[in-house]
Amino acid sequence: MLDKLEYTILRPDCTQAEIEALVKKAIDFQIFGVCIPPYWVKAAKRMAGSALSVVTVIGFPLGYQKTSVKLAEAEEAMADGADELDMVMNISAFRSGMESWVKGDIAQLAMACHKQEKLLKVIIETSLLQPAEIIRASEICISAGADFVKTSTGFGSAGATVENIRLIRAAIGSEAGIKASGGIKTLEFASQLVEAGANRIGTSSGPEVFIQG
């Protein structure tokens, strides 16, 4: 399980000391990576080096910034050392029927990431969507070039569920990734999400919680 974990802190009041402690623990437990605010990417990458992946967020947490703004965020984050970007889908545009715009928004971020050999995850905020919308949003993300669909920001009314992971996996097939995030606090729940099709687990709970046995 540890190789699937992204140890996360995205609270607006997090401190430098908390970021440093998060990175140190992630290295000590040899987990996959950390997911942190853009402001702290450069410092985290300096600490982590190649020991783990540094993941940050784009258009966070609401997603309705214009594409040019998200691109600027993405370019700066990658310049600071981010290995992967978790971009929030424009849910407002999606639910207004503007699927071609949403697809273009994601596609431009995907191209920018892939040009630098980085990965793009797209957060669809499942708590705001009906099942049919979750399926369609997931299809759009992958057809636009995203590498992963991510369930939640952690700021919505609910986080990952087994049912939604199954919906997303059925929609995108076996090749693309799924990151489950939001409310994942036990090894048992994380294991259920992985069994349902998740490839990554985003959690603010310490990695010691997710050790087998």
Residue 47, classed as helix, strand or coil, is: helix
pLDDT of residue 36: 98
> Which is the catalytic residue, given 4, 70, 121, 150?
150
Tell me, rounded to whole angstroms, the distance of Cα 205 from its chain centroid. 16
Q: 89: closest CA among 76, 75, 114, 108?
A: 108
User: Which CATH number do you get for residue 101?
Assistant: 3.20.20.70
Structural domain range at position 199: 2-210
> Which is the catalytic residue, given 80, 83, 86, 105?
86
Instruction: Categorize the per-residue pLDDT at 212 as very low, low, confident or very high, splitting at 50, 70 and 90.
Output: confident
Tell me, yes or no, if 28 is annotated catalytic.
no
Q: 110: closest CA among 140, 84, 145, 143?
A: 145
- In the chain, pLDDT over 70 holds for what percent of residues? 100
Quick: pLDDT tens for 59-89.
999 999 999 999 999 999 999 999 999 999 9
Tell me, rounded to whole angstroms, the distance of Cα 31 from its chain centroid. 16
Find the mean pLDDT for residues 133-142: 98
DSSP H or E run through 109: helix 99-115
Tell me, yes or no, if 4 is annotated catalytic.
no
Instruction: Categorize the per-residue pLDDT at 213 as very low, low, confident or very high, splitting at 50, 70 and 90.
Output: low
Instruction: Categorize the per-residue pLDDT at 94 as very low, low, confident or very high, splitting at 50, 70 and 90.
Output: very high
Q: Which residues are within 8 A (CB) of 134 and not within 5 positions of it... i.e. 6 or more apart?
A: 124, 126, 164, 167, 168, 171
CB half-sphere exposure, 183, CA atoms < 13 A: 15
Tell me, yes or no, if 80 is annotated catalytic.
no
Please tell me the total count of domains within the chain: 1
β strands within the chain, DSSP E: 5-8, 33-36, 53-58, 84-88, 119-123, 148-150, 177-181, 200-203
| Beta-bridge mates of residue 56 | 36, 85
Long-range contacts of 134-137 (CB under 8 A, 24+ apart): 134/164, 134/167, 134/168, 134/171, 135/167, 135/168, 135/170, 135/171, 136/99, 136/171, 137/89, 137/94
> Which is the catalytic residue, given 70, 118, 121, 179?
179
- ∠ CA 119-197-173, nearest 5°, is 70
- Amino acid found at 123: I
Quick: pLDDT tens for 166-201.
999 999 999 899 999 999 999 999 999 999 999 999
